Chains A and B, each alone.
Chain A
Amino acid sequence: MYSAIVDSRIDVSALLARVASDSNGAAVLFIGTVRDVNDGRTVTGIEYSAYRSMAERELASIIAEAAERTGSTHIAAEHRLGELRTGECSVAVVAAHPHRGLAFEGARYVVEELKRRVPIWKREQYIDGTREWVRATSSDVRLADGPTIGVLADAGERK
């Protein structure tokens, strides 16, 4: 198991090498990249920031959960911070397993939980020079009106 929050280019070959094993019949690699359009606006780049120490801890927890769910510890992920241009890789997840089903499941679990729980934020830069914080991408972390605090506490306690 391996996870890291990094400040420079993600080397996906190196990440794949971390989960390589002759016992694995399958390895799934997910790469998230900066898209050039969001909500109809032309995006030129994204600035990623984080609550770094918590992001490292939360990502490591997610990797451990995925290992427990799939029975394979051959799972690794990196998320990059800083200013990225369109087309650059912001996140990479690899999951390897003797069989493809659980390799896909492991990678999917890490990606979905990362987007839901890891305290990372992005500010998009648009072609007209303006910048905006991006709203949550997962509907289940959007909070309804009202004094609900710590809706993710349940997720945390499930560990």
Chain B
Amino acid sequence: MTVTVLLFASYADAVGRSSFELDVETGATVKDVVEKVRAMSGHDRLPRALMVAVNERYASRDSEVRAGDEVALIPPVAGG
């Protein structure tokens, strides 16, 4: 199944793009998605520990993702 990975700010700069489609196994968790992204060429510049939102809500590492989900890798926020 396919999910959409979104990257922002310093993370988008680190890998040179802000979104892409990723194939993952059915039943994959947030942690699986992050590990698969970091295993891609050049993507190990992303930190191992990062925050993730699935469909615009913060998600824990063990949450399962579903086909078509929007999985966003969230750098430390700095609004204000």
Residues on A facing B (Cβ under 8 Å): 32, 48-51, 53-55, 57-58, 79, 90-91, 111, 114-123, 133-137, 141-153, 155-156
Size bracket, chain B contacts = 20 to 34
Q: How far is the CA of A121 from the CA of B79 in the complex (A)?
A: 6
- Contact in complex: B75, A153 (CB < 8 Å): no
- Contact in complex: A156, B48 (CB < 8 Å): no
Q: For residues 43 through 69 of chain B, which have their beta carbon under 8 Å from a beta carbon of chain A?
A: 47-53, 56-61, 63
How many A-B residue pairs have C-beta atoms within 8 angstroms? Tell me: 118
- Contact in complex: B80, A156 (CB < 8 Å): no
- Contact in complex: A32, B30 (CB < 8 Å): no
- Contact in complex: B8, A119 (CB < 8 Å): yes
- Contact in complex: B78, A51 (CB < 8 Å): no
Residues on B facing A (Cβ under 8 Å): 6, 8-10, 13, 30-31, 34, 47-53, 56-61, 63, 72, 74-80
Q: How far is the CA of A115 from the CA of B74 in the complex (A)?
A: 14
Residue pairs across A and B with Cβ atoms less than 8 A apart, 9 shown, are A58-B56, A91-B80, A120-B77, A147-B31, A147-B49, A150-B51, A150-B58, A153-B63, A156-B58
User: Distance in Å from the Cβ of A143 to the closest Cβ of chain B?
Assistant: 4
> Closest residue of chain B to A49, judged by CB?
B9
The 5 closest A-B pairs by CB, nearest first: A120-B79, A136-B76, A149-B61, A121-B9, A153-B60
User: Distance in Å from the Cβ of B7 to the closest Cβ of chain A?
Assistant: 10
* Contact with B80, one of A57, A115, A133, A155 (Cβ below 8 angstroms): A115
- Contact in complex: A121, B75 (CB < 8 Å): yes
Query: Interface centre among B57, B58, B74, by most A CB within 10 Å?
Result: B58
Q: How far is the CA of A22 from the CA of B59 in the complex (A)?
A: 41
User: Distance in Å from the Cβ of A74 to the closest Cβ of chain B?
Assistant: 22
- Contact in complex: B10, A51 (CB < 8 Å): no
Residues in chain B near residue A151, CB distance under 8 A: 51
- Contact in complex: A137, B31 (CB < 8 Å): no
